[in-house]
């Protein structure tokens, strides 16, 4: 991924994502939005009534913890 491309997508990158995957950002934010719709409390005070907006901001700031089973499997394989 080029540096120019990374800068243009800077708002859509999860801070601890070494691959800078915008797809992962979307998936994590969508799952968080579903949690918020289901009654979970937001990590941030927000004026937006839309759970997707709150979820995207929480994800962008790195407040949403997630597990990537594929990356975990790769790490486990290299440790053997």
Provide the percentage of residues in the chain whose pLDDT is more than 90: 30
pLDDT at 75 > cutoff 60:
no
* pTM beyond cutoff 0.75: no
Dist CA 43 CA 57 (whole Å) = 10
Dist CA 5 CA 25 (whole Å) = 15
- Is residue 44 within 8 A of residue 57, CB to CB? The reply is yes
Task: Read off the pLDDT band of 78 (50, 70, 90).
Answer: low
First to last CA, the chain: 30
* CATH assignment at residue 19: 3.90.940
The total of structural domains in the chain comes to 1
Domain that holds residue 9: 3-79
- Is residue 29 within 8 A of residue 56, CB to CB? The reply is yes
Dihedral class, residue 17 (left if φ above 0, else alpha if ψ from -120 to 50, else beta): beta
- Mind listing the pLDDT tens digit for each residue in 10-35? 556 666 666 667 788 888 999 999 99
Rounded mean pLDDT, 34-50: 90
- Mind listing the pLDDT tens digit for each residue in 2-11? 445 444 455 5
């Amino acid at each position: 991924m080029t540096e120019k491309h990374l800068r243009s997508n800077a708002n859509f990158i999860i801070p601890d994502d070494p691959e800078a995957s915008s797809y992962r950002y979307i998936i994590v934010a969508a799952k968080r939005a579903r949690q918020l719709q289901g009654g979970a409390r937001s990590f941030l005070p927000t004026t937006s009534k839309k759970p997707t907006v709150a979820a995207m901001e929480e994800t962008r700031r790195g407040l949403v913890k997630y597990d990537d089973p594929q990356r975990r499997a790769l790490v486990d394989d290299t440790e053997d």
